[in-house]
Amino acid sequence: MAIKFQYNKTSQQLMDKQLKVRERALPTLQNKEAALRIEVKKARERAQELEHELEAKLADLDNMSRLWGEFDMNAITVEDVELANKRIAGVQTPELVEVIFKKEPFALFSKPVWFLDGVKIVESLAKLGIEREVYIRKMELLDRARKKTTQKVNLYEKVQIPGYKDAILKIKRFLEDEENLSKAAQKIIKNRQEEMEVQL
């Protein structure tokens, strides 16, 4: 990206101002990028932990697969999932508050002995699955913000800051050359005037 400028003091001052803004913002952006990178890693690890926990619980339940045929899946359903917003490094992320279940009334005497335990198992599996999805969503949001921040850091570091420095240097050289030419022209005029006075 070429930085547009004019060869004058006003343009030089504008370039200086833009350069200072970017130099001041760069450390903050780098810190934000590092914080986001850490948070993405934490969210990814937590989502993987929940995934493994869910898989382990499901594997344990495979032993009782015959019993699940008797379980009434309509006995418990997810009614609502309460989420809160949490800001992490300026990014709004979801935070699981509570999973609300709707439990259908049933007669304990007409159901198998393990039915209440089955309801609790389904409830814990649903919570695990929902929490895992929340962490995956959190990781995606944070990762997208991290990528944008990384792009901005690279833009400032590799393109704009060197570009503004180069533009300022070109303007300074041009103005110095112009000033030197002006002084040289004044000397030449002065010398000619002196020569003409001597001749008279």
Summarised one tens digit per residue, pLDDT across range 173-194 is: 999 988 888 888 888 888 888 8
Does residue 36 fall inside a structural domain? Answer: yes
Phi, psi torsion values for 101, nearest 5 degrees:
-105, 150
Arithmetic mean of pLDDT over the chain? 87
Q: Is the pLDDT of residue 66 over 90?
A: no
User: HSE-up of 183 (CA within 13 Å, CB side)?
Assistant: 6
Q: For the chain, what is the domain count?
A: 1
Does residue 200 fall inside a structural domain? Answer: no
The band of 65, judged by pLDDT with boundaries at 50, 70 and 90, is: low
What pLDDT, on the 0 to 100 scale, is given for residue 68? 61
Nearest-angstrom CA–CA distance, 135 and 94: 8
The DSSP-derived string for 105-127 is ---GGGS-TTHHHHHHHHHHHHH
Summarised one tens digit per residue, pLDDT across range 27-53 is: 999 999 999 999 999 999 999 999 999
The band of 82, judged by pLDDT with boundaries at 50, 70 and 90, is: very high
Summarised one tens digit per residue, pLDDT across range 86-96 is: 998 889 999 99
Does residue 34 fall inside a structural domain? Answer: yes
What pLDDT, on the 0 to 100 scale, is given for residue 59? 81
The DSSP-derived string for 129-193 is HHHHHHHHHHHHHHHHHHHHHHHHHHIIIIIIHHHHHHHHHHHHHHHHHHHHHHHHHHHHHHHHH
Does residue 157 fall inside a structural domain? Answer: yes
Q: Which residue in the block uniquely carries the two structure tokens 């015959």?
A: 66
Q: For residue 155, what is the domain's CATH number?
A: 1.10.287.3240
Does residue 122 fall inside a structural domain? Answer: yes
Give residue 79's domain range: 9-195
What pLDDT, on the 0 to 100 scale, is given for residue 25? 94
Q: Is the pLDDT of residue 165 over 90?
A: yes
Nearest-angstrom CA–CA distance, 125 and 132: 11
Does residue 4 fall inside a structural domain? Answer: no
Does residue 126 fall inside a structural domain? Answer: yes
Q: Is the pLDDT of residue 200 over 80?
A: no
Residue 139 token pair: 């990781």
Nearest-angstrom CA–CA distance, 179 and 166: 20
